[in-house]
Structures are given as C-alpha cells and as structure tokens.
Amino acid sequence: MQEAYFGGGCFWCLEAVFQRLKGVQSVESGYMGGQIKNPSYKEICSGLTGHAEIVKITFDPSIISFKELLYVFFGTHNPTTLNRQGNDVGTQYRSVIFYTDEEQKLEAQNFMSNEAQQMWSDHIVTELSPLTDYYPAEKYHQDYYNNNPNQGYCNFIIRPKVEKLEAAFQNLLK
C-alpha cells in the first residue's frame, strides 16, 4: 500500500470522491502544512494555523496508480483558484499535493506541467510541498458525505462532485 495526501477545498468533498475509486483502501480527512501541533477544526477554520484541509488516501498501486489519482484530483476540483474552492475561501482550502517521496514529487510536477495544464485553460496554482506532520480530523468529519447524504452542503456541493467523478472516471470506480 502507498499513501497520497491531497488538499483541494473542503476535505468532505475529496473524501467522498476518492472513497469511490477501486484500489483505494481508505480515505481519512485531516490537516497538514501548518505551524501548530494537533490543531482543531475551529483553529483550522480561523485560517491562522497554516494548515490545509486534506485527505490521506491509502491505495494499492497495483490497482490504481498515483497518476490516476492525480487525474481524479485535478478533474474534480478547481486547481486554478488560489486559496478557494467555490464559497470556501482561505488558505485552509488551498489546492495542494503533499508528496511522500521524490517519485511522487516528480510525477506530480510533470502532471501539473502537462496533463493538468491541458485540463484547465487558466494557470494551475496547486502547491506542491513535502510531507509534513499529519493530523487526523475530528471523528465527526470522517466519512461525512456517506453519513450525512441529505445535509444541505452534501446535496448542493459534494453530490455534484461525486456525479462529475461518476461521469468522467467510470473506469476507475469500485
């Protein structure tokens, strides 16, 4: 198993998307890239800690590759808006890839320069950073979409991303 760490707005959206991919063993919402240890959701929401809302994806590379994860990542969020996804604004919602090793770093750099730039007409602002301390989000954030499918945010924000995934990446779905 390998791990990938992506931030692309609200972690509830990313979690719902990546949970549906074959080869993905688990997806956990959490925080990374900030200055304090063990931050809370309230601290993250202040935008003052430097952390991003991210997902930790544990995947089997013999079933789904890191490059395929990158296709889904860049295909289901907007990597051209700095510190924002829709109405979610702040550094905690930035587009970011925290790479685990040099191979992931090089693959992500190449993907952002080529495939991602072909997917989006505007400049890609996704941050590429080395892995830092990871902190799991509070329990109520985990599996949020699946546990709250009728909640307003889930219906109007997350569901369209899941539908986009289902339409564009059918070959990668469980």
Question: For the purposes of burial, counting CB atoms within 10 Å of the CB of 162, is it exposed (0-12), middle (13-18) or buried (19 or more)?
Answer: middle
Evaluate whether 57 touches 3 at the Cβ level (below 8 Å).
yes
Closest CA to 84 of 159, 161, 9: 9
**Spatial separation of the C-alpha atoms in residues 5 and 64, rounded to whole Å:** 15
In the structure encoding, which two tokens stand for residue 133, read together? 């301390």
Catalytic residue numbers, as ranges? 10
Torsion angle of the four alpha carbons 157, 160, 165, 170, in this order, in degrees rounded to the nearest 10: 150
Coil, strand, or helix at residue 53? Answer: strand
